[in-house]
A and B are shown apart, each in its own frame.
Chain A
């Protein structure tokens, strides 16, 4: 019996007649890096939205380590250890880069609510130290005190990643973490993700860049038109005629 972390069971999602997801079944194994690929509009982000409680599935359910996520509030899902890194950065624009990273650490350490108003932020050396290290590792050590609204798009993506990683999730959901990054940054991110993968973290990654997918993924699921059209190891997917067909008309991969 395999150790299944995330069990997506017969999930459907309709948007006023549009079938964004139909009959999606997917099991994520513990410790694997699972890539979800597919053309634009295939329903990849929608699938993650269903997982983290941003969207309710029209039908079906999602189980995380046996706990049903469907119907749970987003903060409860996050507290279980399911962490999403967003495709379009959803950072705190009025906070500094460092504060953006410390915020997720607080919810990890103190829970969904804590009336912690008597301690001082600058006394939390442990939090700050880890946040600074994370940001430095990601090459953002020079931006610690900057307001995030001033960051470049690539830096915002990296900040998103840092915000997810500092929570030490059990399951990390990455939505196109390298989109909008320069080649060098992409390579740095791959390196970082390889390191994370080495720690045994379970990762679901949506990615357009096949270079990233094939260098990281243990297994790949291909979505098209809201349906799973193929699943397998990178080698199986590369030669699958259905996949090649689904990508016809898309940018060459």
Chain B
């Protein structure tokens, strides 16, 4: 009764995995079935799943999570340069380094709650972004970006006597290369594992404690909880997810640049999570997919494509329609995204997942035995987004 029963969770996980692995087929009608884009879905899905463990469960809104994405990418590229083209050291280093960064940034930022916490994380992110371009150029290679070169030492590979041909091989897992479709399937496995871990966290006493902190942090103190280490753990876990996502970015395209840490990237994961449904298991993945889809598909439309689409209309009407719709595509895809975001936030404050729950409830009212036991229980429970936890100190 305290959470979904195991069978339902396993079922949800299996369905999720089936959807993810059949992405190449399912996405064909949407024109999105190519590996580069599907990889992005998976990588940003992971990023958002991790972000949701902080924001969705505790309500602490970080505006600087892209730092960990950047740290993950730089660490992975350095591992490719220094150790091996194998992704294991790279991803491990990405997760560990981003975890360390998250520990430091979280330790300081979590001294404050609410908007002050958000501002602190944003400040750290901007600081890291600027440092990457200035003082830290020896590590980040500044504006050129950090890339893997043929003459890099790769001590591990050298120690095992691996031969490098005339061309630098792409990152791989014992021959499983990280490019094209095989790269997608590797990211998909990571996404499913990341989803499974987040499900475990959601259903655990730790996860419920985080939700209680979001609901009433003050009361948690009088209930015997030291909330600070809980929040810091959630912060570090979500930072490590971001680091893994950043590491995967570097694995599928061995190049790291500071723009990955820009505040727009931090803001993007906030949008993904809210759009899909903060505090729900599936929402962040949906939001990530949707935003990456818009970014790639809508932005590739231009007037000539639109003219083709609306070619059946009389010329004058076609002209007007194309003029209007062209505002929403190409460079204007942000406008479409902005409108979509506004509509969702106003009408579905619980994100797309709230929409699905509502539909499911309308369809299933006859048979439903109360929302508490439905597979989407946590969707319903957290349909109201509290951007920040209550921060009221005991009044004096």
Contact = CB atoms under 8 A, between A and B. Distances in A.
Contact of A121 (B205, B227, B230, B372): B205
A145 B372 contact: yes
A78 B222 CA distance: 6
A148 B219 CA distance: 15
Contact of A93 (B4, B216, B370): B216
Given A15-B396, A114-B205, A102 B219 contact: no
Nearest to B4: A122
Contact of B3 (A55, A84, A122): A122
Given A98-B2, A145-B1, A104 B216 contact: no
B81 interface: no
Contact of B224 (A75, A94, A128, A132): A75
Interface in A86-113: 86, 90-96, 98-99, 102-104, 106-108, 110, 112-113
B272 to A, nearest CB: 22
Q: How large is the interface on A (under 10, 10 to 19, 20 to 34, 35 or more residues)?
A: 35 or more
Contacts, number: 135
B318 interface: no
A95 B205 contact: no
Given A54-B394, A144-B1, A147-B381, A96 B225 contact: no
A90 to B, nearest CB: 5
Query: Interface on chain B toward A: helix, strand, loop, or mixed SS?
Result: helix
B189 interface: no
A94 B381 CA distance: 7
A152 interface: no
A189 interface: no
B204 interface: yes
Contacts of B229: 113
Given A96-B381, A116-B204, A74 B222 contact: yes
Given A75-B226, A115-B233, A122-B203, A95 B221 contact: no
B206 A116 contact: yes
Interface string A183-220: 00000000000000000000000000000000000000
A220 to B, nearest CB: 25
B381 A74 contact: no
Contact of A145 (B201, B219, B370): B370
Contacts of B1: 98, 122, 128, 132, 144-145
B215 A92 contact: yes
Contacts of A116: 204-206
Contacts of B382: 94
Contact of A55 (B215, B225, B370, B396): B396
A77 to B, nearest CB: 8
A25 interface: no
Interface string B283-325: 0000000000000000000000000000000000000000000
Interface string B203-224: 1111111011011101111111
B259 interface: no
B36 interface: no
Given A55-B396, A95-B215, A103-B209, A121 B3 contact: yes
A107 B223 contact: yes
A93 B204 contact: no
A55 B201 CA distance: 34
Interface in B28-61: none
B373 interface: yes
Given A94-B384, A107-B225, A132-B1, 5 more contacts: A73-B221, A92-B219, A94-B211, A102-B2, A167-B224
For the complex of A and B, 9 pairs with smallest distance between CB atoms: A107-B224, A145-B372, A78-B224, A74-B221, A117-B206, A112-B226, A92-B215, A121-B2, A94-B215
Interface of B: 1-6, 200-201, 203-209, 211-212, 214-216, 218-227, 229-230, 233, 370, 372-373, 381-382, 384, 386, 394, 396
